[in-house]
Structure 1
Amino acid sequence: MTCHRGSDEGSRAMVRSGLNATAASLLGFLHEGPMTGWDLVAVAQQRIGSFWTLTQSQVYRELAAMANAGLVTVGPPGRRDRKPYTITDEGRAAFREWLEQRPGLEQIRFPLLVTIMFADHLPPERLGAAIAEHRAIHRERLAGYEQARGELRELGNADFRLATLEFGIRYEQAVLDWFEQLPEVLPSVALADPESSTAGSHGP
């Protein structure tokens, strides 16, 4: 009885304090059916990894907290000792409550910009190489997003996923436009040809 009461108290406390976006996204995916932690990591990386970072340790930590709070249940181990998680009615209610709240503001983290900010301490050729590498990466990301957009359109009934993917496409296009005008702002930095940079890159 004591353990059950503690679980109820933990559940109410978690709902009162509000889910974080990582926990909420896991509950969102669990609406599609039971998934193991491994499944959730893979799905999250595929669907929201471009704009929301989830590590494996974060996923399992949130799942454990939500299980203690009664927002998900844990099934018996299956293949490779992986346990499936299932969203509960209380988990669905907590997810809806989170979804109805005002989203927080985004915080852009672009490490290359920090390098450029202090690039007067860096040889121009090193900066040019870093810019060329990142430019190639963003070109590859854009190509991947555009391919995914075509696949989603064929599936149909994916308007919300397409909307988030379109943001990724527009973002990558904006970044590449910024790279295009960099030579005008940084005339002292020799920038490699983007096509040759892309051809020599194999991803991040």
Structure 2
Amino acid sequence: MSRGGYVKNEKPLNSTAASLLGFLHEGPMSGWDLVAMAQNRIGSYWSITQSQVYRELAALNRDGLAERGETGPRDRTPYRITEEGEAFAAWVARDPGPETIRFPLLLSLAFGNHVEPERLSRIIAANRTIHAERLAGYLEEAKCHTGNAYGAATLDFGITYERAVLDWFDRLPGLLERD
């Protein structure tokens, strides 16, 4: 088996495909089910679009990592993980490498001197609200979280992250006054 990837084509298993295989360990699911699960479970820190899910399911099926079932009600076609789909085990056990920060507000803020101050203030306030709402959602989820310890640790990261971001938002006016 290759380091973290497909056996047949010797291509590395990408994160989207790997996450779908991870979800398929729970049983057969349609693309629609996988999109909903991804949005619910990992959507706060990893984005997966509907088009990516269907594209990756087709590739996983083609490469023998997942098998397409018979189309069922509402034209939903379930997929199930195959034995070759256990390439997921190699992917999940690899060193994931460094993270990449993709925080669109930071990009806007880096060029904030080109934005009217009132407009920039509205952008900042709107983004602070998003993070406050996300923290509230995580805290609500934590009250009734009965998942495994790994899910709980991920949820704890989300809570800690959002608290840190909100602390940064609170300090931001003073940071911008230094300019």
Normalised by the length of structure 2, the TM-score is: 0.92
Which amino acid in 1 is paired with 2:114? H
Question: 1:104 Cα deviation (Å)?
Answer: 2.2
Pair 1:166-2:135 in alignment? no
Pair 1:177-2:167 in alignment? yes
Aligned to 2:110: 117
Which amino acid in 1 is paired with 2:29? M
Pair 1:59-2:35 in alignment? no
Of all paired residues, the percent bearing the same amino acid is 57
Which amino acid in 2 is paired with 1:58? Q
Aligned to 1:40: 34
Q: For 1:151, which of 139, 144, 149 is the aligned residue?
A: 144
Question: 1:164 Cα deviation (Å)?
Answer: 0.9
| Conserved? CA contact 1:124–1:188, under 8 Å | no
Normalised by the length of structure 1, the TM-score is: 0.81
Pair 1:13-2:8 in alignment? yes
CA distance in 1: counterparts of 2:57 and 2:131, whole angstroms:
32
CA distance in 2: counterparts of 1:18 and 1:125, whole angstroms:
46
CA distance in 2: counterparts of 1:116 and 1:28, whole angstroms:
36
Unaligned stretches of 5+ residues in structure 2: 1-5
CA RMSD of aligned residues (A): 1.6
The SS at the match of 2:80 is strand
Unaligned stretches of 5+ residues in structure 1: 1-10, 190-204
- Counterparts of residues 66-105 of structure 1 (less than 5 Å): 66-92=60-86, 94-105=87-98
Aligned to 2:101: 108
More helix by share: 1
| Conserved? CA contact 1:74–1:85, under 8 Å | yes
Which amino acid in 2 is paired with 1:130? I
CA distance in 1: counterparts of 2:108 and 2:18, whole angstroms:
34
